[in-house]
A and B are shown apart, each in its own frame.
Chain A
Amino acid sequence: MLARAALLAAAVLLAGCADLEQPVVEQVASTFAAADPSTRCAMLAPATVAVVEAARSESCVQAMAQLSLPEGAVVSSTVWGDNAQVQLVGDTVFLTRTSTGWKVTAAGCRSRGDAPYVCRLEGP
């Protein structure tokens, strides 16, 4: 009984902390697809910017200008520790918490079941 109560309390605490962050990550994810290339680059995690620039041998802004992403509404979101996943209509966006707020680590992602998502834009 005591164990079940403690388990419930811990789950509520975890869910509560995640709930506070959900509106923030949803806002970042839904803004990202509609943003201009320069704003998108500012919303990316530094490691993702580095991968994009290295992979395409062009600046982040140039790479973002060529990347079109569906601008769907938020379907659901989940936050675990410093990582978050936002499901949009037609897209899945992954985010990480940094010292300057939530940043996008991957977007344009498609599920492959238990395997990692395939993403058109992703970091390391």
Chain B
Amino acid sequence: MNRAASASSMWDRLRRVLRDNGLGIVFGALFLLTLVGQAISGHAYFNDQQISVGGEPVSLAHYLTSSSFGVDVVENWQSEYLQFFLYIFGTVWLVQRGSPESKDMDEAGPESDADQRIGRHARADSPRWARPGDWRTVVFSRSLGLVMGGIFLLSWGAQSVAGWAAYNAEQIGSRQDPVTWLGYLGQPEFWNRTTQNWQSEMLAVGSMAVLGVYLRQRGSPESKPVGAAHAGTGETG
């Protein structure tokens, strides 16, 4: 194979990888871009506050390793993963008539082994842990929700620690006593940070489930086909 043909084949392979993983790649890149945006704007805001209380501005590297930046990042992570964790488990049992986000009315619950293609109903291309029917299948059957729930707990725990450190730095800066970690969990600041994120996630999920009944987005799997009836549940276009 000559050099031109080899380059062309590599380009084709790259294009295929990009096309096959477009959602993951684009949202991964957007995540990094917006995280950089948060770092830059957060650094500027932090230094504004430093100056307003007679302190010195800090470097970007100093800010990025501070508890202030840490808590601002992970408090949003925890709420996003909580949202998906609740949605994944909630949609097993809860239905919404007419919503593309919902199963059919009579499918509420974990469904039969045949429907889920597990145990003896597994097919040749089913994942390995769908087949044995023992604890591995039980775990794999809930792995998406468990991982989302696990990341939520880790992020929330990280928020509590980073928030505690940032809170105590502010307490001492305003000549007040620091608090213990358990003491911080009882502070309005911790719950205000937490619930202000939770409420927005619940609103977004609830409105997505309901608006999808009456509104359409042509070509999106998050929507029903444009011509689908409002009463049709579980269809995606």
Residues in B with CB closer than 8 Å to A51 are: 54
Residues in A with CB closer than 8 Å to B175 are: 94, 105-106, 109, 116-117, 119, 122
Interchain CB contact under 8 A, B172 and A80: yes
Residues in A with CB closer than 8 Å to B66 are: 81
What size tier do the contact residues of chain B reach? 20 to 34
Interchain CB contact under 8 A, B154 and A85: no
Q: In whole Å, how far is B134's beta carbon from the nearest beta carbon of chain A? A: 22
Whether, in the assembled complex, A55 has its beta carbon less than 8 Å from a beta carbon of chain B, the answer is no
Interchain CB contact under 8 A, A14 and B165: yes
Residues in B with CB closer than 8 Å to A48 are: 54
Q: In whole Å, how far is A87's beta carbon from the nearest beta carbon of chain B? A: 10
Residues 172-215 of B contacting A (Cβ, < 8 Å): 172-178, 181
In whole angstroms, how far apart are the Cα atoms of A6 and B169 in the complex? 21
Binary contact readout A10-42 vs B (1 if CB under 8 angstroms, 0 otherwise) = 110010000000000000000000000000000
- Smallest Cβ-Cβ distance to B54: which chain A residue: A47
Cross-interface CB contact of B161 among A11, A45, A84, cutoff 8 Å: A11
Residues in A with CB closer than 8 Å to B53 are: 47, 124
| Chain A contact residues: helix, strand, loop or mixed | mixed
Interchain CB contact under 8 A, B54 and A3: no
Residues 39-73 of B contacting A (Cβ, < 8 Å): 53-56, 58, 66-68
Interchain CB contact under 8 A, B68 and A10: no
Interchain CB contact under 8 A, A85 and B150: no
Cross-interface CB contact of B153 among A3, A10, A116, cutoff 8 Å: A3
Interchain CB contact under 8 A, B161 and A10: yes
In whole angstroms, how far apart are the Cα atoms of A112 and B169 in the complex? 18
Whether, in the assembled complex, A72 has its beta carbon less than 8 Å from a beta carbon of chain B, the answer is no
Binding site for B on A (CB under 8 A): 2-4, 6-7, 10-11, 14, 45-48, 50-51, 78, 80-85, 94, 96, 98-99, 105-106, 109, 111, 114-117, 119, 122-124
